[in-house]
Structure 1
Amino acid sequence: MESILAEFGGGPSLGVESIILRLLGAVAFSGLIGFEREAKNRPAGLRTHMLVGLAAASYCMIMLELLAQSEGKSADLAMDPLRLLEAVTSGVAFLAAGMIVFARGKVHGLTTGASLWLAAALGLGAGFGFWVLSAASAILALIIIRVIKVAELAAKAQKDDDVYH
């Protein structure tokens, strides 16, 4: 039981506030690009860009946490967090690309591809014990996928309504 409590007891080296601020910043900045793409009716829109930005920030902070944890360790410890992140991201990118389909003149699966990429970041974070990072990313992803989708549908309905009136 003590090991379970210790698992959740340690804080991240960046600090919870910094992690949340960086994740929100990544979502906001990538969302600006996504909003512009959405306004242009491009296949990769607001949610897709926000998920990709969130995933990239998660990967960066996982790397920073790994580096912080390796400081002061034995010289015998061989750790190359970049190789791990490269392997995961390239592997998941391959899977995510497989989700993207062009059919009937439309691209489908971009949000699913981005969410797969994010799922890899969540998995890495949880696997390394970066609970705040993973939890915050998962919550933000659910908000992006569900809440932003409702906003997109409402905006589309308004746009369609404007066309017919």
Structure 2
Amino acid sequence: MLFDDFKLEMFLRPLAACVLGAVIGWNRELKKHPAGLRTQILVALGSCSFTLSALELTSVMHEQYLQENSDPVRVIAGIVGGIGFLGAGSIIQSGGDVRGVTTAATVWVTGAIGIACGMGAYTLALVTAGLTAFVLIPLGRLEQKYLQDQ
């Protein structure tokens, strides 16, 4: 169980979530966009911790109470809903102009990275973080150069 003995994975998974969340947050900070470094790290870390807690609870329920109907997927669904609410708060509409959608999307994808880290799916987390960085940095520059005025 989680609290009975130290498990290296219980340290590595949140650490990976923080590092990968920082990759996304660093780009946001450099561009002076909302939901920067600390926000992205906390979203990834929180998502990872909730996922780890759900997996641990499922294990405990199965081992101690022989319950097979505990479902960590419900916790993940709750995380996604909560992050959606957080992201919606960053979207602003004024005078027909909508701003903050990319910020909301980065919060959402950072949550997914945290969930992947919590599950121990490091390859998925790394690929997602890498693709997110690609979308934000080179594609962001292309968008700014060629599509901003249209």
TM-score, length-normalised on structure 1?
0.49
Report what 2:3 is aligned to.
Answer: none
Report what 1:111 is aligned to.
Answer: 102
Name the CA distance, whole Å, in 1 between partners of 2:141 and 2:78: 34
Q: Structure 1 residue runs of 4+, over 2 Å off?
A: 73-79
Equivalent of 1:121, from 112, 115, 121? 112
Report what 1:154 is aligned to.
Answer: 145
| 1:19-78: CA deviation from partner (whole Å, max 9, x where unpaired) | xxxxxxxxxxxxxxxxxxxxxxxxxxxxxxxxxxxxxxxxxxx9xxx8xxx9xx865344
Name the CA distance, whole Å, in 2 between partners of 1:80 and 1:108: 37
Higher Rg:
1
Report what 1:39 is aligned to.
Answer: none
Name the CA distance, whole Å, in 1 between partners of 2:145 and 2:92: 25
Aligned residues: 95
Task: In structure 2, list runs of 5 or more residues that go unmatched.
Answer: 1-6, 13-50
The question of 1:137 aligning with 2:140 is answered no
TM-score, length-normalised on structure 2?
0.53
The question of 1:94 aligning with 2:85 is answered yes
SS of the residue aligned with 1:126?
A: helix
Cα shift at 1:79: 3.3
SS of the residue aligned with 2:98?
A: strand
Identity of aligned residues (%): 27
The residue type equivalent to 2:112 in the other structure is A
Q: Which has the higher contact order (CA 8 A, sep 6+)?
A: 2
The question of 1:80 aligning with 2:71 is answered yes
